[in-house]
């Protein structure tokens, strides 16, 4: 079976040697766009099976992930786990609030109450989004048995100790990131990519501050 990085390279989801801004606002020269993966349903199915195999020993009842990309992965992984366990495993998602929190809406908090929950994420650099999902699962009375991410871009910082629960990833691709004020790409006047990532938003905010 192909590994996760091979799959992402094949669908051209990994983009090196450019200037990107991530969701956290940090700058980097390599970006992974999960949006390049999701149209390829057979590859998505493989990724979800990887998640299921990696976490099947946790006896999972519910898979929870942040919208938007996490919805697809949670659905596919819950389906794959249902086949392994021969029981229904549910899939739910959190949504971002105006304050950039991740909360359950649509009554989904009721589905995690008292259940063993696997928290999924597509990509992680700081672990911030995952921590917000964890907080919402705990608030809803769910028991988090593990956190699993597709690609961990910061293995030195993002680990079990950060989340306080078992943690794993399907693959690692360490990407150095920078605060805007310290960004060597900015200092070299390398244009910020506005098609992928949050570069367009960053430039608009910079313009509004002037």
Q: pLDDT tens digits for 59-110?
A: 999 999 999 889 999 999 999 999 999 999 999 999 998 888 999 999 999 9
Phi, psi of 83, deg, nearest 5: -70, -40
User: What is the average pLDDT score of the chain?
Assistant: 94
> In terms of Cα–Cα distance, which of 154, 186, 188 is closest to 169?
154
Tell whether the model's pLDDT for residue 208 goes beyond 90: no
pLDDT in tens, 145-166: 999 999 999 999 999 999 999 9
Q: How confident is the model at residue 1 (pLDDT cuts 50, 70, 90)?
A: low
Residue 95 has what pLDDT? 95
Q: Give CA–CA dist 114/97, Å, rounded.
A: 24
Domain 4-197 is found in CATH 3.40.50.2020: yes
* % of the chain with per-residue pLDDT over 90: 84
Residue 182 has what pLDDT? 95
What tokens does 43 get? 């590859």
């Amino acid at each position: 079976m192909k590994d996760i990085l091979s799959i992402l390279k094949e669908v051209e989801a990994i983009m090196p040697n450019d200037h990107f801004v991530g969701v956290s606002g940090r700058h980097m020269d390599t970006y992974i766009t999960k949006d390049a993966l999701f149209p390829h349903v057979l590859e998505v199915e493989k990724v979800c099976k990887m998640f299921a195999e990696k976490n099947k020993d946790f006896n999972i009842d519910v898979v929870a992930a942040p919208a938007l990309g996490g919805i697809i992965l949670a659905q596919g992984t819950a389906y794959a786990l249902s086949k392994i366990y021969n029981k229904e495993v549910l899939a739910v998602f959190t949504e971002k609030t105006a304050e950039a929190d991740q909360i359950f809406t649509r009554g989904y908090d009721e589905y995690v109450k008292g259940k063993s929950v696997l928290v999924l994420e597509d990509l992680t650099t700081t672990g911030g989004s995952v921590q917000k999902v964890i907080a919402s699962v705990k608030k809803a009375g769910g028991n988090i048995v593990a956190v699993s991410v597709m690609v961990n871009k910061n293995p030195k910082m993002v680990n079990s100790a950060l989340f306080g629960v078992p943690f794993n990833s399907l693959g690692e691709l360490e990407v150095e990131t920078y605060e805007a004020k310290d960004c060597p790409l900015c200092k070299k006047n390398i244009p910020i990519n506005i098609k992928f990532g949050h570069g367009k938003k960053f430039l608009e905010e910079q313009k509004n501050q002037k």
